[in-house]
Amino acid sequence: MPIPKPTACLALADGTLFYGYGFGATGQTVAELCFNTAMTGYQEIMTDPSYAGQVVTFTFPHVGNVGVNVEDDEAADPVAAGMVVKWDPSEPSNWRAAGDLKDWLARRGRIGIGGVDTRRLTRAIRQQGAPHVALAHNPDGVFDIEALVAAARGFSGLVGLDLAKEVTCAQGYRWNEMRWAWPDGFARQEAPRHKVVALDYGAKRNILRSLTSVGCDVTVLPATATAEEVLAHEPDGIFLSNGPGDPAATGEYAVPMIRTLLEQADLPVFGICLGHQMLALALGARTIKMNHGHHGANHPVKDLETGKVEITSMNHGFTVDSQTLPEGVIETHVSLFDGSNCGIRMADRPVFSVQYHPEASPGPQDSFYLFERFAVAMETRLAKA
């Protein structure tokens, strides 16, 4: 049998080329390339706003096998720029499947490439750092290689890039949907006990569901909301969401607002991912770009205060530099892969955050206690009032 002609090309900024078979949308996109080691959840990964500006290489080969459905979207549309897989996505075979991955990507304008040696690509990312790439899909198999490499080299990268403004909500809204539970699916929170304002830097839906599931009445506000707008809702607690891009860039407007909240209101504060980095910056620490970041659902994290090890889901390319944490800020969690910071808290206030995703349930329930801790902090404050 003749070998089919490649219909997609992944060009790295150093001139390395990977040819494969395109699926999803046609066209071209430029982004940073990362890899994700999770064995499930490709739909959640593609719709996670934290992946804005990135093409995701999936190290697990079975992609497409469970199809897609409306319940697993973490945002209204895919946010990741594209996907790279080892095998051509398989036909769906799952009772929850409501559609095919290829068709879903085509409708949502996202490019995929299959037939790629993802092990070789992952090794390159680990050794050289997350490269800038251009990904093209042309059913005719015709590519302007020089233009693709030039496009990859012309990508500005994520350092200094504020992407939270691109993925945040346009205006505030209420959220009352709870976590999925058999057999009824997503229930509604009808008896909330705590008013929470969530700052949306790119919030995943399942994080908001986790908040409502511990009794929160959640109001989501845009990333650019002011402290006055937040406090106008008279919240019992503040939540800082996950999100994409360089935390230092987003911090130019978010950090002063968070500092104002910490100064003017003695409220519990909980942050996840970019929200963790925003809190750390507001408290006086610094963030740094990682070589290739942490992306996957099998990351061990140690709670330094209890000795417990949690299996967590992660998605970040920047990290808090623990050496810059000021006095009064305690490091609570670290990665057992590389020792990088994964959690902090203030010594004298219920203000804390983590670098990983406790809502993603890889453990499967190892880290849900963090949402419960946030709820207890709000209950304790109200009891003292």
- Per-residue tens of pLDDT for the chain, all 385 residues: 667 899 999 999 999 999 999 999 999 999 999 999 999 999 999 999 999 999 999 999 999 999 999 999 999 999 999 999 999 998 999 999 999 999 999 999 999 999 999 999 999 999 999 999 999 999 999 999 999 999 999 999 999 999 999 999 999 999 999 999 888 899 999 999 999 999 999 999 999 999 999 999 999 999 999 999 999 999 999 999 999 999 999 999 999 999 999 999 999 999 999 999 999 999 999 999 999 999 999 899 999 999 999 999 999 999 999 999 999 999 999 999 999 999 999 999 999 999 999 998 776 788 999 999 999 999 999 998 7
Q: Which entry of 9, 34, 216, 273 is annotated as an active-site residue?
A: 273
Which of 32, 44, 74, 359 is the catalytic position? Answer: 359
Annotated catalytic residue, options 292, 294, 295, 357? 357
**What is the CB neighbour count within 10 angstroms for residue 312?**
26
pLDDT at 360: 87
- pLDDT attached to residue 1: 64
Torsion of CA 38, 43, 47, 50, to 10 degrees: 0
Helix (H) or strand (E) holding 117: none
Q: Are strands 132-137 and 27-36 parallel, antiparallel or unpaired?
A: antiparallel
Q: How far apart are CA 4 and CA 77, in angstroms?
A: 31
Contact 360, 206 (CB under 8 A): yes
287 touches 280 (CB < 8 A)? yes
Element (H, E) at 147: helix 145-154
Report the first-to-last Cα separation within the chain, whole angstroms: 77
From CA 142, how far away is CA 122, in angstroms rounded? 26
Take residue 42 and report the two structure tokens written for it. Answer: 């490709």
Catalytic status, residue 359? yes
- pLDDT at residue 365, rounded to an integer: 82
Give residue 380's identity as a one-letter amino acid code: T
287-303 per-residue burial string, b: 16 or more CB within 10 A, e: under 16:
bebeebbbbbbebebbb
Can you point out the beta strands (E) in the chain? Answer: 8-12, 17-24, 27-36, 54-58, 82-84, 111-114, 132-137, 173-175, 177-181, 185-188, 194-200, 216-222, 237-240, 269-272, 287-303, 309-320, 329-335, 341-346, 351-354
273 assigned to active site: yes
Cα 363 to Cα 159, 306, 360: the distances in Å are 31, 17, 9
In the chain the domains, ranked by start, together with CATH numbers, are 8-154 (3.50.30.20), 164-384 (3.40.50.880)
User: Helix 247-264 vs helix 274-282: angle between axes, to the nearest 10 degrees?
Assistant: 60
The model's pLDDT over 96-133, given as tens digits with 9 standing for 90+, comes to 999 999 999 999 999 999 999 999 999 999 999 999 99
Token representation of residue 118: 């993802």
How many Å apart are CA 212 and CA 216, to the nearest integer? 4
DSSP state of 189: -
